[in-house]
């Protein structure tokens, strides 16, 4: 495998979908097949932990969410996921920084990349193959609750996210993940072979 850092040499996929759709498990399948997986959510957490400009802006907008210079993500989530305007404001603070970090990491890649994104607007421009993971809404809800979230919180978050139909319209490829994982894994494998030109 070549080690040039020119990202144009490698496929870059955006992997999106709603809460409980199974993005992380699908991303794990890409990782198993040699893709570098970059999680936009993790980058976002890092921004709120370390970017002084973002932390200061959050402190001004929501003073109760910043304690001793540290963003309390639980308090912040409670605020923004119950108020669409607050969520939009938070995104306007964090998304430019997140986008810069993601572009830098893509540029540093030495092989194919998957960027796992929670929102369509993350890296909305660029020569990327867009892949949506979708699943039945009740299945998604049950999965998220099974991971420890309250059903009320999951439904609230879903109400602020794009629907599966919107994700499917956004995507170049759709991975259905409502049923048997082996079938999903086969779909992912076929997509990987397509992207890498195998077979």
What CATH number corresponds to the domain at position 78? 3.40.50.300
Domain range for 39: 7-194
Q: How many domains does the chain have?
A: 1
Give domain status of residue 140, yes or no.
yes
Q: 86-129, pLDDT tens digit by residue?
A: 999 999 999 989 999 999 999 999 999 999 998 888 887 788 99
Distance from the Cα of residue 166 to its chain's centroid: 15
pLDDT digits 0-9 by tens, 154-199? 998 898 889 999 999 999 999 999 999 999 999 999 999 999 987 5
- Domain-located, residue 38: yes
Q: Is the pLDDT of residue 2 over 50?
A: no
Residue 169 lies in a domain: yes
Residue 135 domain-assigned (yes or no): yes
1 belongs to a structural domain: no
- Give residue 199's pLDDT: 59
48 within some domain: yes
160 versus 24: which is more confidently predicted? 24
| Tokens (6 digits) for 45 | 């957490």
Tens-place pLDDT, residues 127-164: 899 999 999 999 999 999 999 989 988 998 898 889 99
In 3D space, the residue among 136, 174, 169, 158 whose CA is nearest the CA of residue 26 turns out to be: 174
Any domain includes 66? yes
CB contact at 8 A, 118 and 40? yes
- pTM, two decimals, is 0.85
Residue 199 is assigned to a structural domain of this protein: no
195: left (phi over 0), alpha (psi -120 to 50) or beta: alpha
């Amino acid at each position: 495998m070549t080690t040039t850092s020119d990202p144009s040499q490698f496929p870059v996929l955006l992997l999106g979908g709603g809460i409980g759709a199974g993005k992380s498990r699908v991303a794990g399948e890409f990782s198993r097949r040699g893709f570098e997986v970059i999680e936009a959510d993790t980058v976002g957490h890092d921004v709120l932990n370390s970017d002084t400009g973002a932390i200061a802006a959050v402190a001004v907008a929501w003073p109760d969410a910043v304690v001793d210079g540290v963003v309390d993500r639980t308090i912040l989530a409670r605020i923004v996921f119950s108020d669409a305007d607050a969520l939009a404001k938070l995104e306007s603070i964090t998304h430019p920084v997140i986008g810069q970090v993601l572009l830098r990491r893509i540029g540093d890649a030495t092989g194919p990349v998957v960027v796992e994104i929670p929102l369509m607007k993350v890296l909305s421009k660029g020569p990327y193959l867009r892949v949506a993971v979708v699943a039945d809404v009740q299945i998604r809800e049950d999965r998220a609750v099974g991971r420890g979230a309250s059903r009320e919180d999951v439904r609230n978050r879903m109400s602020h996210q794009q629907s599966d139909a919107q994700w499917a319209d956004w995507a170049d490829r759709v991975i259905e993940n409502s049923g048997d994982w082996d079938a999903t894994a086969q779909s992912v494998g076929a997509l990987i072979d397509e992207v890498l030109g195998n077979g």
